[in-house]
Chain A
Amino acid sequence: MSTYILCFVLFLVGLYGVITRRNLIKIAISLSIMEFSVFLILVLIGYVDDGKAPIVNLQATDAVYVDPLPQAMVLTAIVIGLATTAMLMAISIRLYRKYKTFDIREIKNLRG
């Protein structure tokens, strides 16, 4: 049970970063940390003690395998996380060229 609680603490650390930081790059980093904690808790739920990796060995017919369904969901989610982070980086480099700062309070005040 302690691993689940630590995963949730990592999620709260990321949430704290999204809410309190003013720098766009720090907000993007915190969003990525939140996503990583969710991946870990999904794979942790599907783990079976003394299970094997989910590649079926056709000779051994009574082996126990780790649950493959959360792994398939997390595989899709990792690539989507990359797409989200890349688009956030494109937006932030565009904002830096125009306003010369990464600070979101200053960008909000300058109505350019």
Chain B
Amino acid sequence: MEGMSNIVKQVAKILTGIIFIYGIYIIVHGHLTPGGGFAGGVILAGAFILLILAYGSSALSLKKEVAGSSNTESIAILLVVILALMALLLGVKVFFSNFLPKGTAGELVSAGVIPLYNIFIGIEVAGAILTIFLALVIFKEESSQ
């Protein structure tokens, strides 16, 4: 799959950076404004998909890309389970409890363990959607040869 024309490539380069920062903002402020882990994760995946569509799959090395995204999503979901298991040792000894201090509501550093869950679930969702998309692109590349 070839890329698009030169104007599309330059504009996509700028837009992908803005969308990436916006996705990280939605993830990190998930406990204060609408958004959270899932919304920010799909926005991050959308930024990467935009870049792949603009530059074409001939400008990437697809094996390394899909290895990178599937490794990222596996590590992120492993960290979610480890964070949930750590609640068995600290505070109220129940699986999945909210064991970090809660702080004052409305600050950025508050609500215990919820911002950490937001970040890791966001990375996991982005990695999963990117892996699905890259699997389709690799299939179309290999079957058209």
Contacts and interface: CB of A to CB of B under 8 A. Distances in A.
Asked if chains A and B are in direct contact (CB within 8 A), the reply is: yes
Nearest to B33: A55
Interface of A: 53, 55-56, 58, 75-76, 78-79, 82-83, 86, 89-90, 93-94, 97
B136 A55 contact: no
A79 B42 contact: yes
A90 B134 CA distance: 12
B1 to A, nearest CB: 14
Contacts of B139: 93-94
Nearest to B104: A58
Contacts of A79: 38, 42, 125
Contacts of B38: 75-76, 78-79
B34 A53 contact: yes
Contacts of A75: 38
A93 B125 contact: no
A93 B143 CA distance: 11
B119 to A, nearest CB: 17
Interface string B95-139: 000000000011000000000000000000100110010011001
B75 to A, nearest CB: 20
A13 to B, nearest CB: 27
Nearest 3 A/B pairs, CB to CB: A86-B132, A79-B38, A97-B143
Contacts of B33: 55
A60 to B, nearest CB: 13
Contacts of B125: 79
A58 B136 contact: no
Given A53-B34, A75-B38, A79-B125, A90 B105 contact: no
Interface in B33-69: 33-34, 38, 42
A82 B129 contact: yes
Contact of A93 (B32, B132, B136): B136
Contact of A90 (B42, B136, B143): B136
A56 B105 CA distance: 10
